Structure 1
């Protein structure tokens, strides 16, 4: 369909993109109009004009509200990223003499949020108030996908080498621990043989999860068969079910430090075999790295080194530390 400028392309403006994304998020033109401070016919007109320019329907009108079509879902995803990039650009070019400014979206492994999230936000707010932080938490596989898709600027991942699209900087190695109710009496100075832990009912990450892959590989090496009681994709749920007596679980030390300090769970490092994971800082391999992203990456690394040096990251080692432990 010809565009307004006669070039044969499609002309889309920022208002249309905002209307598209907002309607998709709230499922209602009326609610979207309220959030955008527009009248309802204006939002309807922006959506309809965009549909006419693209030659496809972007929404289905259902009893449950406005639902994106397959084409609409693609456009919403792209529009959201375009709006985010525009917002980032505005933040970077806004005049702040001598200050680093911008929006930085950071991916944190769910197990590390208790240790790193507040400390990172506090340090960046104190030293670089012109930087707006956005923290996203998930498991490693999801974070890697978001980083590849351009939704994150940098992210913690684990057991990842450099890829064609990402640089991976090793930050820390840490052991996996058997985690049990306090009544089990597990202790940090008494490692538990993997076969012993595997013989208990286990609350496990779901199959396909990177942590589950580490556990399955260790079970194979130990010649043990896992007694799985329940599977979940949530670390807090794993700990909650262990606390309720549904079995033991396996987690990285960083994810249970607060629970051990408060005495709500007991835990011990796994042995025979020892099971380790390597946490890396992953960043896009190509494209310009904004100064704000460099600043946040430096601060995140500093926070991790400090946590290891002061013993807040359980059974962790920095790269280059001597170790005879078996690694994954």
Structure 2
């Protein structure tokens, strides 16, 4: 095996097709097919299955993909670390953010990285926590913010740095300002809730269960934009991370209130793979991200239970 073949194979798996990978890599498709055949001959296993929609890895192919990603990442990081000695840290760094985190952190973090480390190219990927966990596990992210301790640091596969405990709040389009509410007393409320089985919804369902309540759910929505639109249209109230509705609250369009009878909080951690050290640029981004989060903790910007 050689590094070129491994890079080609990783690209094929990620694009789910040899022809798509050939176009992305700017090489002829027959040459790319020969590289795959050489890998299969060397390893004595079939690595890819052809389907009508492209190719998918076999179990052996997925094992090769996971390890090849780690090998290639370590090589790239070694090159960057050598180049960074005695100079400004440089290179690409990818960081994942759940939607609620991206709402408040993206612009401040980008600004700090540009100011402190102009040679670092920052890639911010916003998605649901479950998808970010998969991307981090497969080596496609250098680091990611994850809730619930990174799901217990993904059974010790990650190192997690806890940055805060975030409180979920009651959100409505009501005009009266109410600083706190009792979930038990919200008997007649129509609820527009984040869709299951996400982490936010799990916390909400657990809170209702502890009080012996079954919420009257009129809609489940996966998009933060859709949730806010449904609330503003009067279809119901919701329970959301405060960071995504603080601007609406400041404009007087929404009201947010803490719960007095149930704890709906979740820890947020910045997670990195335990077995792959960060590059110098990656370490700078990690440390800066933790610092910026602490700077943003404020009742009007990023309310927490800390």
* Equivalent of 1:37 in 17, 26, 51: 26
Question: Between Structure 1 and Structure 2, whose CA radius of gyration is higher?
Answer: 1
- Per the TM alignment, residue 152 of structure 1 is displaced from its structure 2 partner at its CA by 3.9
TM-score (structure 2 length as normaliser): 0.82
Question: 1:4 is matched with which residue?
Answer: none
SS class of match (1:316):
coil
- Per the TM alignment, residue 308 of structure 1 is displaced from its structure 2 partner at its CA by 1.8
Question: 1:297 is matched with which residue?
Answer: 286
Please give the residue correspondences for 1:186-205 in structure 2 after superposition, counting only pairs within 5 Å: 187=177, 189-197=178-186, 199-205=188-194
- Per the TM alignment, residue 211 of structure 1 is displaced from its structure 2 partner at its CA by 1.9
> Which string of whole-angstrom CA distances, capped at 9 and with x for unpartnered residues, describes residues 161-189 of structure 1?
67644444432233211223x3x3353x4
Q: Using a 3 Å threshold, how does the CA distance of structure 1 residues 214 and 63 change in structure 2: closer, same or farther? A: closer
Provide the alpha-carbon RMSD of the alignment.
3.1
For residues 55 and 38 of structure 1, the distance between their equivalents in structure 2, rounded to whole angstroms, comes to: 25
Larger RCO of the pair (alpha carbons < 8 Å, separation 6+) = 2
Whether the 8 Å contact between 1:177 and 1:270 is mirrored in structure 2 is yes
Q: Using a 3 Å threshold, how does the CA distance of structure 1 residues 186 and 235 change in structure 2: closer, same or farther? A: farther
| Pairs aligned (count) | 303
For residues 165 and 25 of structure 1, the distance between their equivalents in structure 2, rounded to whole angstroms, comes to: 22
Question: 2:67 is matched with which residue?
Answer: 78
Question: 2:42 is matched with which residue?
Answer: 53
Question: 1:14 is matched with which residue?
Answer: 3
For residues 166 and 23 of structure 1, the distance between their equivalents in structure 2, rounded to whole angstroms, comes to: 27
For residues 25 and 92 of structure 2, the distance between their equivalents in structure 1, rounded to whole angstroms, comes to: 22
SS class of match (1:32):
helix
TM-score (structure 1 length as normaliser): 0.77
Matched, 1:174 2:174: no
For residues 67 and 297 of structure 1, the distance between their equivalents in structure 2, rounded to whole angstroms, comes to: 33
* Equivalent of 1:307 in 285, 291, 296: 296
